[in-house]
Amino acid sequence: MSQTNRIDGGLVNRNQSYSFKFNNETMHGYGGDTLASALIANGVKLVGRSFKYHRPRGIMSAGAEEANAMVQLRTGAYTEPNTRATVAELFDGLEAKSQNHRGPLGFDVMAANDFLSPFLSAGFYYKTFMWPKALWEKFYEPVIRASAGLGSLSGENDPDQYDKGFLHCDLLIIGAGPSGLAAALTAGRAGARVILADEDFIMGGRLNSETHTVDNMPGSTWAETATAELYQMENVRMMTRTTVYGAYDHGIFGALERCTDHLFDGSGKPRQILWRIYSKQSLLCAGSTERSIAFGNNDRPGIMMAGAVRSYVNRYGVTPGKRVSVFTNNDDGWRTAIDLKAKGIDVTAVIDTRSIPAPYNVPNAATIMGCRVIDTVGRKGIHTIMLSSGQTMKTDCLAVSGGWSPNVHLTCHQRGRPTWNEKQACFVPGGDLPVGMSVAGAANGDMTLQSALTAGHNGASSILSSLGMSDAGSKIASASEESAKVSAFWHVTESKSRAWVDLQNDVTTKDIGQSFREGFKSVEHLKRYTTLGMATDQGKTANVLGLAIMAECSGKTIEQTGTTIFRPPYTPIPMGALAGRARGKDFRPFRLTPSHKFAEEKNAAFVETGMWLRGQWYPIAGETHWRESCDREVRATRESVGVCDVTTLGKIDIQGRDAAAFLDRVYANTFGTLAVGKVRYGLMLREDGIVMDDGTTARMGEHHFVMTTTTANAVSVFRHMEFCRQCLWPNMDVHLISATEQWAQYAVAGPNSRKTLQNLVDKEFDISNEAFPFMACGEVTVAGGIPARLFRISFSGELAYEIAVPTRYGDSMIRAIMQAGEEYNIVPYGTEALGVMRIEKGHAAGNELCGTTTAANLGLGMMVSKKKDCIGNVLSQREGLNPEKPLQLVGFKPVDTSISLSAGAHFVTKGAEATMANDQGWMTSVAYSPILNHSIGLGLIEDGKNRMGEIVTAANPLKQSSVDVEIVSAHFVDPDGDRLRV
């Protein structure tokens, strides 16, 4: 297809010819075109189908406000639906398809909806599809879902890369139109750190679309000159293709930069970057958006905004029609006719709603004042208009201007409300603006070019003053004169046909009237009931029109009617950009233990515990099920020796003259009496008396302790203790620092653990039972001088140690331990075996320390010292936490030992129904014990300590299981602790 509608002039690069496809038809355009301008150049009028009625639609704007020309860009996994053709930059090889039609674009079978429109008016779905009820899920909903939406996703993973970033500036200028450029020049020349962001791919805004002059040069040339100067300033960051989409607290803005959307191949670079911009001050120069007038069949292809027509003619060098008419209620609309004539394009007529003398003379065009367009003809492209005067005119393009609405959106993102300016017939920024924000140019109601340039300069000067800077004597650019008179006119009452207010959601003037009649009178209700202002364009051209009509219905003023709330984002943000890099394995950081490489070599199955990757079990040849590996590891450890990486446990280094006293306050039990060289189990309560965490704390010196926490609570315990130190007891001499990362720590457990370590610990350190008894700790060296810390503590219930070396030696250490224990057939064991052994021993862990249990529940009530105060002491004595028959941690074994237990099962009296009323507690942890050869469990049950031997039922309605279990001691293995102390 040749570029039949390409005309001379414009800012496109005619030396850069691009080939692209629309609905598989090859077409051509130029560098600097948008898809929309290229389609117009190629004579394409029908671009898509409307949302509800599938009416033929064309291009209606030349910017982000586009409601009609939505296309699917690219192919395969790169497909992006609902892209506005008006902002899609053309590139060589671009492929686009129209959307929302069944069958070809020109013959959409779903267009039958248009004929059913009397049944599909606003809110129809709230009133229909109710009977028969059974059909809703099976028929109505699937059909509606299949019909709804515009484009469709590829269903594949998005292959593009996305990124995020942070920027800082003295002044963020949002929009690089005349006011934005003027402000940037003033602030930039003064040396301020400026960010100038604009959603377009060239800066200049409307200067590129108009024929005004600035400083005696064409506006676009002035913009180009200004832009070039700004690019030379090191203190100014120029960001084209960047939409500032949201204003957040404290001068922070969200911005989306489209980096490779205009390229055929992004070469693996991020397609888009989501920026967080921290600004001291901001100046909103976002311009304004032209709105339409509602009249009969005002949605036909070829009917577009008057300003957009000027954009296509002046900037892109294409004409949307050969015989154009203009329908306006303001002076600005006339400029379209004048510019078209200047390009040699026939202007059939200018129809102005105002009964005033024509503001301009347009040669060879009918000028009809005080008249309205009441209807149009031409299903796939307008060819005739009918006027209220009874005249009928042939035209292939109707340029409509209902006035301009300042883009106040970002001024309202923190619940600011704009105010109505009756003279200019538009909302302007009002009320409280976001912190540090000023507004200039058309966004503030400065509707002439000179006023915009002046406001931009003055706005920047004022901001510079507030920053303690001066404007370096920049002068205000001078612009050609223009008139911007407007008389509010919203819809043509004589129209009998449907008149469209929101083209994207197929909302008509009748829908708004119906909404009012049915009681949905608030603008917020109007929006929800009719869908006015929803979807990708967020009603940029429709909202003011819609609420003005609602105001008419209700007899209120527009100001009284108000606006809906503006929320971010200003324009759509792809989900991929919001995700940024956080996808796949990079969804979040991961933490590796010092033995990770060793574990990989041992074919470990890893489990995520928080961000840590821990070895869950270590399968050997012939093992095909995790239980085989786990059982073997448990048996080997209990029979001889095993090693487990416990680096993940939190380690907090505590020093200070008041360290012991501090621990007495944060722990329920006493640490002041702990001797140097000894370790003690510690129980930490929350302020409300519930158990927070547990662990061991070693006294390395008079004023030096090393605390271990659970892996899960390492951060929260440290934070809690810092809060206590800094806020509760700032006068205590105690200092904390995390040492979790500093030490690679391994549990070496089993009857041969001492012998194993004796092979490794340097001989000058006596670690015999006599010299280094249970709960001893100390600093040692290993392998000829490597510093280490040794703790004789046990989670498994076996003779056991934990030994720590600086992390740099962590890999060497695990290999050395394996070497040292080789003669005892040492095995590495994972978290599964660790869990089995602690359940066999009856040690509480995360399942029991679940945020609802007390020390008494866990059988540790005696640890809450009454001789001292501590966090949680008082509230742990609450009556509600100390019932007559408290939940108590005990063991459970199945009566039929061939049956497996399940965690989460609730206990009821044997034979009783599994109801909440009969609930007596729940199973917290279960495991298969390879020592006992049957399933075992720990659980909390009322008065458990006094019910040993009783049979109760562990009911799990979720799994539809019910198992009789015997209440037993929680200590299945070595209940007297003999193995620990040998």
Contact status: 480 vs another protein (CB under 8 A): no
Q: In the complex with another protein, which residue's Cβ is closer, 397 or 599?
A: 599
Cβ of residue 161: shortest distance to another protein, in angstroms? 7
Q: Is residue 157 exposed (0-12), middle (13-18) or buried (19+ Cβ within 10 Å)?
A: exposed
Cβ of residue 272: shortest distance to another protein, in angstroms? 11
Q: In the complex with another protein, which residue's Cβ is closer, 225 or 742?
A: 742
List the beta bridge partners of residue 21.
26, 95
Cβ of residue 955: shortest distance to another protein, in angstroms? 41
Cβ of residue 744: shortest distance to another protein, in angstroms? 8
Question: DSSP code of 267?
Answer: T
Q: In the complex with another protein, which residue's Cβ is closer, 104 or 268?
A: 268
Cβ of residue 252: shortest distance to another protein, in angstroms? 10
Q: In the complex with another protein, which residue's Cβ is closer, 24 or 267?
A: 267
Please give the distance of CA 184 from its chain centroid, rounded to a whole number.
31
Q: In the complex with another protein, which residue's Cβ is closer, 208 or 593?
A: 593
**Half-sphere exposure of 415 toward its Cβ, with a 13 Å CA cutoff?**
1
Of the candidates 775, 766, 700, the residue with the CA atom closest to the CA atom of residue 739: 700
Peptide bond into 594 cis (omega under 30): no
Contact status: 742 vs another protein (CB under 8 A): yes
Cβ of residue 655: shortest distance to another protein, in angstroms? 4
Contact status: 782 vs another protein (CB under 8 A): yes
Of the candidates 343, 312, 359, 305, the residue with the CA atom closest to the CA atom of residue 327: 305
Contact status: 592 vs another protein (CB under 8 A): yes
Of the candidates 124, 409, 430, 407, the residue with the CA atom closest to the CA atom of residue 291: 407
What is the β-pairing status of strands 691-701 and 679-685? antiparallel
Cβ of residue 276: shortest distance to another protein, in angstroms? 7
Q: In the complex with another protein, which residue's Cβ is closer, 311 or 756?
A: 756
Q: In the complex with another protein, which residue's Cβ is closer, 656 or 677?
A: 656
Distance CA 81, CA 501 (A): 24
Which listed residue (115, 231, 278, 723) binds another protein by CB under 8 A? 278
Which listed residue (809, 829, 892, 907) binds another protein by CB under 8 A? 809
Cβ of residue 608: shortest distance to another protein, in angstroms? 13
Scanning residues 925 to 964, which ones bind another protein (CB under 8 A)?
Answer: none
Provide the greatest CA pair distance for the chain. Answer: 114
Contact status: 816 vs another protein (CB under 8 A): yes
Contact status: 609 vs another protein (CB under 8 A): no
Which listed residue (25, 156, 524, 586) binds another protein by CB under 8 A? 586
Alpha-carbon dihedral sign for residues 771, 777, 779, 782: positive
Which listed residue (203, 273, 690, 749) binds another protein by CB under 8 A? 273
Distance CA 137, CA 313 (A): 51
Q: In the complex with another protein, which residue's Cβ is closer, 726 or 969?
A: 726
Distance CA 517, CA 616 (A): 66
b/e per residue 219-246 (b: at least 16 CB within 10 A)? bbbbbbebbeebeebeebbbbbbbbbbb
Scanning residues 719 to 738, which ones bind another protein (CB under 8 A)?
Answer: 731-733, 735, 737-738
Contact status: 280 vs another protein (CB under 8 A): no
Q: In the complex with another protein, which residue's Cβ is closer, 516 or 662?
A: 662
Q: In the complex with another protein, which residue's Cβ is closer, 163 or 494?
A: 163
- Contacts of residue 77, defined as CB under 8 A and 6 or more positions apart, other chains included, come to 154, 156, 157, 158, 159
Cβ of residue 168: shortest distance to another protein, in angstroms? 4
Q: In the complex with another protein, which residue's Cβ is closer, 551 or 760?
A: 760
DSSP 927-959: EEETTTTEEEEEEEEETGGGGTT-EEEEEETTT
Which listed residue (270, 689, 930, 944) binds another protein by CB under 8 A? 270
Which listed residue (422, 600, 687, 741) binds another protein by CB under 8 A? 741
Which listed residue (812, 865, 918, 962) binds another protein by CB under 8 A? 812
Contact status: 807 vs another protein (CB under 8 A): yes
With beta carbons less than 8 A apart as the criterion, state whether 645 and 614 touch.
Answer: yes
Which listed residue (245, 253, 612, 791) binds another protein by CB under 8 A? 612
Size of the site for another protein (CB under 8 A): 59
Distance CA 779, CA 790 (A): 6
Ramachandran sector of residue 317 (left: φ over 0; alpha: ψ -120 to 50; beta: rest):
left
Scanning residues 637 to 696, which ones bind another protein (CB under 8 A)?
Answer: 647, 653, 655-657
Q: In the complex with another protein, which residue's Cβ is closer, 25 or 741?
A: 741
Scanning residues 142 to 171, which ones bind another protein (CB under 8 A)?
Answer: 161, 163-168
Contact status: 811 vs another protein (CB under 8 A): yes
Q: In the complex with another protein, which residue's Cβ is closer, 215 or 811?
A: 811
Distance CA 748, CA 801 (A): 5
Q: In the complex with another protein, which residue's Cβ is closer, 285 or 788?
A: 788
Peptide bond into 568 cis (omega under 30): no
Strand positions, DSSP E, 631-742: 642-645, 650-655, 679-685, 691-701, 704-709, 735-738
In this chain, which stretch among 200-208, 267-275, 690-698, 791-799 interacts with another protein, using CB under 8 A?
267-275
Please give the distance of CA 335 from its chain centroid, rounded to a whole number.
43
In this chain, which stretch among 480-488, 550-558, 801-809, 873-881 interacts with another protein, using CB under 8 A?
801-809
What is the β-pairing status of strands 13-22 and 95-98? parallel
Distance CA 846, CA 709 (A): 11
Distance CA 904, CA 925 (A): 8
Which listed residue (421, 603, 670, 759) binds another protein by CB under 8 A? 759
Scanning residues 177 to 236, which ones bind another protein (CB under 8 A)?
Answer: 193
Cβ of residue 692: shortest distance to another protein, in angstroms? 22
Which listed residue (138, 145, 250, 588) binds another protein by CB under 8 A? 588
Cβ of residue 753: shortest distance to another protein, in angstroms? 16
The contact mask relative to another protein for 701-720 (x = CB under 8 A, - = no) is --x-----------------
Q: What is the CA radius of gyration of the chain?
A: 38
With beta carbons less than 8 A apart as the criterion, state whether 85 and 61 touch.
Answer: no
Cβ of residue 80: shortest distance to another protein, in angstroms? 20
**Half-sphere exposure of 339 toward its Cβ, with a 13 Å CA cutoff?**
29
- Contacts of residue 354, defined as CB under 8 A and 6 or more positions apart, other chains included, come to 329, 369, 370, 487, 489
Cβ of residue 738: shortest distance to another protein, in angstroms? 7
Distance CA 549, CA 491 (A): 8
What is the β-pairing status of strands 323-328 and 743-749? unpaired
Contact status: 808 vs another protein (CB under 8 A): yes
Cβ of residue 635: shortest distance to another protein, in angstroms? 27
Q: In the complex with another protein, which residue's Cβ is closer, 274 or 382?
A: 274
Ramachandran sector of residue 960 (left: φ over 0; alpha: ψ -120 to 50; beta: rest):
left
Cβ of residue 656: shortest distance to another protein, in angstroms? 6
Amino acid, res. 328: T
Distance CA 103, CA 746 (A): 67
- Under the rule (CB under 8 A), what is the footprint of another protein? 161, 163-168, 193, 269-270, 273, 276, 278, 581, 586, 588-593, 611-612, 647, 653, 655-657, 703, 731-733, 735, 737-743, 759-760, 782-784, 786-787, 806-813, 815-816, 819-820
